[in-house]
Amino acid sequence: MSVERTITLTVLTAEGLAFEDEAVSVTARGERGYVGFLSRHAPLVTTLSPGKLSWRRLDGVRRSAALGSGLLEIVKNRLTILTDTAAAPNEEASRS
C-alpha cells in the first residue's frame, strides 16, 4: 500500500484495540456534523458524537462501524479514535 495515499485508522476503547485498517478516506460524526479526512490532512483533534464511522480502502472496498462518543486525532496520516463503544466493522455493499 502506498504510504502517501493512505491513512492508518486505529479505533480504541477502554478494553483496548477495537480495530485497525488502512484507508484512503475516512468520515466520522463530529459534534457539529460529519467530517471527512484524506491523506496529508492537517493535524486536528475533535470530539465525536455517537454515529457511523465509514472509510474507503485503497482497493475500493467501503467499510463502516458504529461508534459511541469520543475523541478523534489525526496527525501525519495516522487517525486515532478513542471511543466508549465500537461495533465490529462491516463491508458496505457498493464499491467505487
pLDDT in tens, 39-70: 999 999 999 999 999 999 999 999 999 999 99
Do β-strands 51-56 and 61-67 pair in parallel, antiparallel, or remain unpaired? antiparallel
Q: What is the C-alpha separation between 74 and 85, in angstroms, rounded?
A: 19
Give the per-residue pLDDT at 93: 61
pLDDT in tens, 9-50: 999 999 999 999 999 999 999 999 999 999 999 999 999 999
Residue identified by cell 458504529 is 66
What predicted TM-score, i.e. pTM, was given to this entire model?
0.90
Give the per-residue pLDDT at 3: 52
The yes or no reply on domain 7-89 and CATH 3.50.50.60 is no
pLDDT at 2 over 70: no
Q: What is the C-alpha separation between 15 and 1, in angstroms, rounded?
A: 29
